[in-house]
Structures are given as C-alpha cells and as structure tokens.
A = this chain, B = another copy of it.
Amino acid sequence: MWHLALCFIFVINMEKHKKTIQVCFTPVLFPLYESSDAIVVVIDVLRATSAIVTAFENGVSRIIPVSTVEEAIEYKNKGYLAAAERDGIIIEGFELGNSPFGYMQEKVKGKDVVITTTNGTKAINVAKNSHKVIIGSFLNLKAVTDYLIKENKDVLFLCAGWKDKFNMEDSLFAGAVATELVKSSFFETECDSTTATIQLYSLAKADLYSFLGNSSHRYRLAKLNLEKDIRYCLQESISDKVPIYKNGSIVDS
C-alpha cells in the first residue's frame, strides 16, 4: 500500500516538473525568455548552423564565433582559417563564408575556424554567457532531439532570424524538434510561439523546399544562385553531430 502511495506521489511530482519548451523568434527577444536552466538551441538554417554542423562532419576541431568582421580579420592575421559572411556573400579577403560546401574540404580537418555571419553568430553570442548552447539545423535534427530528451532540461529554441526579424526556416526547425519533444511525457509547452512552429512544421514537413518557396530568405539566396545550398540545408538528420559551445568556442559534444 505504501509502495502504491509513493508511486502515486512520484507520478504527481513528475507531472509538476515537466520540462518546458519555448521558441524565441529573434535574438532581440532573447531577454524575455531567460531561464538559466534552459538549454538554448541556436538555429540559423540558411546557412550558419547548417555550415557549422557540416564543418564538424568534416573534422573541424573548434569553431570560434565572433560578432564582427574586424575580429575575424584579427584572427585571420594570426593565421587562423577564417569565415566571414554578410548578406549571403563571402566578405572579400576571406576563404570561407557560410556555405556548407565550403566546409567539405580536406583543409578544414583538424583546424580551428573563426566565423562571423549576418545572423547566426549574433544569436550564439547573445546566449553563450548565460546558457548551455547547442547548434541545431535540419542536418542534425534527430541528433539534437535525442540530445535534448537525454538531457531532460527546459529547452529554448533561439532562431537567428533575419536581421532581428522572424524567419520561416528557423521556426520550422524549432517546430520539427518541438513536435518530437511534446510526444515525450517529460516535456510540455504553454508557449504560443512553440505551438505556432509545431503547426507550421505540420504544414511544411511533406515538402520543406516547396513550403519555403516564397520565404524571404530562400528568395534572397536564390537571387545569389544558392539553390544548391538551400537543397543541402533542408536535408533532415544526415549528421549525428551536436556542436556545443564551451569555453569560448564551439566543439563536438
């Protein structure tokens, strides 16, 4: 009888302590969502976080995210392999931008890479000092989901967006993972932005590429002839890497 009662109390307790899922649509809104215990999943599907996952798939040692091109130049002058992108284009004088294809080269293997991008590195930098930060993209969708279920902590998806505005592809990825997390009895959400991303992903999942047909960022990249990058970045779960921010740089977890 006592065992039954204890079991009952345990179940009630579990119900009370379900982990929360929230989605922050842009770095500007991040201060509204601070919960020190949450794991922050930084998302910049097109293309920074997809490039970072690809970099680790290709044996990069560490990635150092910096906010400004000037900082990236400083590292470059010290001999680092450096990547700098603004508005979808590699900054002159740099070898790499944020195209995942740039990181599929033997020369990145075992290297430390410094990176600055329009949106992605900003998102990493607003969260890195206060939270555990991991890197999410469709490429490592299942790996990120499994990691979050195993860690069993509150989750905050931080979408990089586009210049502080909401964007569709980052929200869809948040929705893809949230869809899986809410199936687990350990997670719950009362967050409208999470619900919105789950609903949007339900509409998009059958054909992400077509769903994003009119999205602002896909349109922006298509004008730069980056259709190949877009197709690549929308592949689901082709990597089991979960890059994580630790002591000033992103490493393989």
Residues in A lying within 8 Å of B, measured CB to CB: 25-26, 28-29, 32, 162-168, 171, 190-193, 195-196, 199-200, 202-203, 214-217, 219
- Give CA–CA (A163, B193) in the complex, Å: 13
Given A165-B193, A203-B203, 19 more pairs with CB closer than 8 A: A25-B25, A25-B166, A28-B28, A28-B32, A29-B29, A32-B165, A165-B192, A166-B193, A166-B196, A167-B192, A168-B195, A168-B196, A171-B192, A192-B215, A192-B217, A196-B200, A199-B199, A199-B203, A202-B203
CB pair B195–A214 under 8 Å, yes or no, is yes
Closest to A190 in B: B216
- Give CA–CA (A28, B24) in the complex, Å: 13
| Residues from chain B with Cβ under 8 Å of A202 in the complex | 203
Closest to A215 in B: B192
Smallest CB-CB A-B distances: 6 pairs: A168-B192, A166-B193, A167-B192, A190-B216, A192-B216, A192-B215
| Residues from chain B with Cβ under 8 Å of A199 in the complex | 199-200, 203
A179 vs chain B, min Cβ distance (A)? 14
- Give CA–CA (A199, B193) in the complex, Å: 14
| Residues from chain B with Cβ under 8 Å of A200 in the complex | 196, 199-200
CB pair B219–A196 under 8 Å, yes or no, is no
- Give CA–CA (A194, B67) in the complex, Å: 29
- Give CA–CA (A195, B219) in the complex, Å: 13
- Give CA–CA (A176, B166) in the complex, Å: 19
Q: Looking at the complex, which one of B162, B191, B216 makes contact with A216 (CB distance below 8 Å)? A: B191
Contacts A195-B214, A199-B203, A216-B191; A29 near B32 (Cβ below 8 A): no
| Residues from chain B with Cβ under 8 Å of A190 in the complex | 214, 216, 219
CB pair B196–A196 under 8 Å, yes or no, is yes
| Residues from chain B with Cβ under 8 Å of A168 in the complex | 192, 195-196
| Residues from chain B with Cβ under 8 Å of A192 in the complex | 162, 165-168, 171, 215-217
- Give CA–CA (A202, B168) in the complex, Å: 16
